[in-house]
Amino acid sequence: AQSVSQHNHHVILSEAASLELGCNYSYGGTVNLFWYVQYPGQHLQLLLKYFSGDPLVKGIKGFEAEFIKSKFSFNLRKPSVQWSDTAEYFCAVILSGSARQLTFGSGTQLTVLP
Amino acid sequence: EAEVAQSPRYKITEKSQAVAFWCDPISGHATLYWYRQILGQGPELLVQFQDESVVDDSQLPKDRFSAERLKGVDSTLKIQPAELGDSAMYLCASSLGLDSSYEEQYFGPGTRLTVT
């Protein structure tokens, strides 16, 4: 079955540190890729998405992600994190022909220490 | 800003009891999704509606779960009887539903279910 893997369950960083969260998917066909974020006490919301074209996509709040097809990866990055980035981050995919259905990874809890 | 509404926000029920969750999507959104999120995991799709029709309920445990969206607007997810393993966050999401390609899904705050 197709799946999405997020390597780190919990990441702890100090403010201004650089961030990279890993995401790999197992599907050989066309995929659309997403990162969602859930801030404490808030709804899941879209951070960024990749459909086609430039494999480096930029999202809100300074986040970016790079699609590397050969590695089946879509890692999330931010050069300098802030305390307000503390949240849970979910990678998700939509498989071609899947009626817009999201398949989520298990999530990574990011804690940024002030 | 329009939001997806869900109620109740929290529900505690005893094993074998019936429980129901309600979702009101963003006005005009034709597609509605119910997800279950077990602690420590990502959301998993239970059922997807397009207007009042079920598009996919292959992951819905139909022996105890049911979902309806009778008028194509709000939706109810029911569990009867509830089991301990049903303890989870139940999320509702909606999207415009106009296109076969991706449309952003907007999530509600969820209903946290605890079965004792």
Please report the pLDDT score of residue A85 as a whole number. 97
Quickly tell me which residue has 């201004």 as its tokens: A16
**B6: nearest Cα among A43, A101, A36:** A43
The structure tokens listed for A93 are: 């995919």
A98 contacts A32 by C-beta, under 8 angstroms: no
Using the predicted structure, report yes or no on whether residue B76 has a pLDDT greater than 70: yes
> Which residues lie across from A47 on neighbouring strands?
none
Chain segment A5-38, per-residue pLDDT in tens:
998 899 999 999 999 999 999 887 888 899 999 9
Mean pLDDT value across chain B: 93
B51 to chain A, any CB pair closer than 8 A? The answer is no
In angstroms, the separation between the Cα of residue B25 and the nearest Cα of chain A is: 14
DSSP 8-state assignment for residue B79: E
- Specify burial of residue B76 (Cβ count, 10 A radius: 0-12, 13-18, 19+): middle
User: How many Å apart are CA A70 and CA A77, to the nearest integer?
Assistant: 19
Of B41, B56, B110, the CB nearest to A106: B41
Of B45, B106, B109, the CB nearest to A102: B45
| Interchain proximity A107–B105, CB inside 8 Å | no
Chain segment A34-59, per-residue pLDDT in tens:
999 999 988 899 999 998 899 999 99
Please report the pLDDT score of residue B101 as a whole number. 63
In angstroms, the separation between the Cα of residue A92 and the nearest Cα of chain B is: 9
Which residues of chain B lie closer than 8 angstroms to A46, CB-CB? 104-105
Residues in chain A: 114
- Residue scoring higher pLDDT (A24 or A99): A24
